[in-house]
């Protein structure tokens, strides 16, 4: 995928989340079962960087569980961050507006207090990043933000496991592209709440993620499917920094 196409797809998704941020947030008032399963494995003392934190529901659930480790949430959507920041005046949560695809986003995460993190999470984030090289660049930065042996925990949308979601796939011609412009596994999906929108999404398979992990110096520790009516709409993986 060339740089121009990557830029167009990133712009498409930014426009989507700026336009439909509040509608999207209204559909994400509860954490997915797979995320809850991940939280069950934590002690609660971990320092956590949440990439694509959205409306901050992960931070709120940690608080409800009594998990008081330092939390930093990152997202590029101002409308989602406005929701996320409500009610945290006296709680250990920090929310930062930053773009994962920017060259220096990781520099803003390192402070005199937080030189590294125990955990980095990215739930339903990587599948919105176009281009293998850009994904790898982001993952290498994630690795550098983790302490030795720290974990990167993420989930990828498995929309092709749902017949209802398959019909949401739209032709690339809708945004002036063709199949030749994008990579295998790339899709254009529509949105139908509060108006019609379009999003870029990449469908990951386990072998592809394993290759990305190895290239960014991670070891895949755990993988499982969860979420949705069929329990197969989210592919979760826990990677360890090596």
* Integer Cα distance of 9 and 16 in angstroms: 11
Strands 117-123 and 146-157: parallel
Say what the pLDDT of residue 87 is: 66
Is 3-158+204-241 CATH 1.10.760.10?
no
Q: What does DSSP assign to residue 66?
A: T
Render pLDDT for 187-230 as a digit per residue (tens, 0 to 9). Answer: 999 987 777 889 999 999 999 999 999 999 999 999 999 998 88
Render pLDDT for 33-62 as a digit per residue (tens, 0 to 9). Answer: 999 999 999 988 899 999 998 888 888 888
Q: Which residue is it, tokens 């069929």?
A: 230
How much is the average pLDDT of 130-143?
95
Contacts of 227 (CB under 8 A, 6+ apart): 32, 33, 34, 155, 233, 234
Render pLDDT for 147-157 as a digit per residue (tens, 0 to 9). Answer: 998 999 999 99
Selection from 27, 3, 16 nearest residue 188 by Cα: 16
């Amino acid at each position: 995928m060339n740089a121009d196409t990557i830029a167009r797809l990133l712009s498409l998704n930014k426009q989507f989340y700026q336009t439909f941020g509040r509608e999207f947030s209204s559909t994400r008032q509860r954490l997915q079962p797979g995320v809850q399963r991940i939280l069950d494995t934590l002690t609660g003392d971990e320092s956590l960087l949440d990439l694509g934190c959205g409306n901050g529901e992960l931070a709120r659930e940690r608080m409800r569980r009594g998990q008081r480790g330092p939390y930093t949430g990152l997202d590029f959507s101002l409308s989602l961050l406005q929701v996320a920041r409500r009610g945290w005046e006296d709680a250990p949560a920090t929310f930062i507006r930053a773009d994962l695809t920017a060259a220096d986003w990781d520099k803003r995460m390192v402070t005199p207090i937080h030189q590294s993190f125990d955990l980095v999470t990215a739930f339903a984030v990587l599948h919105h990043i176009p281009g293998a090289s850009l994904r790898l660049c982001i993952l290498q930065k994630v690795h550098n933000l983790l302490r030795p042996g720290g974990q990167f925990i993420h989930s990828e949308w498995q929309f092709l496991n749902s017949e209802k979601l398959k019909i949401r796939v739209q032709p690339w011609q809708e945004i002036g592209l063709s199949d030749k412009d994008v990579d295998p596994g790339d899709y254009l999906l529509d949105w139908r709440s509060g108006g019609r929108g379009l999003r870029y999404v990449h469908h990951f398979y386990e072998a592809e993620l394993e290759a990305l992990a190895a290239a960014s110096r991670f070891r895949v520790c755990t993988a499982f499917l969860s979420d949705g009516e069929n329990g197969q709409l989210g592919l979760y993986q826990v990677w360890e920094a090596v």
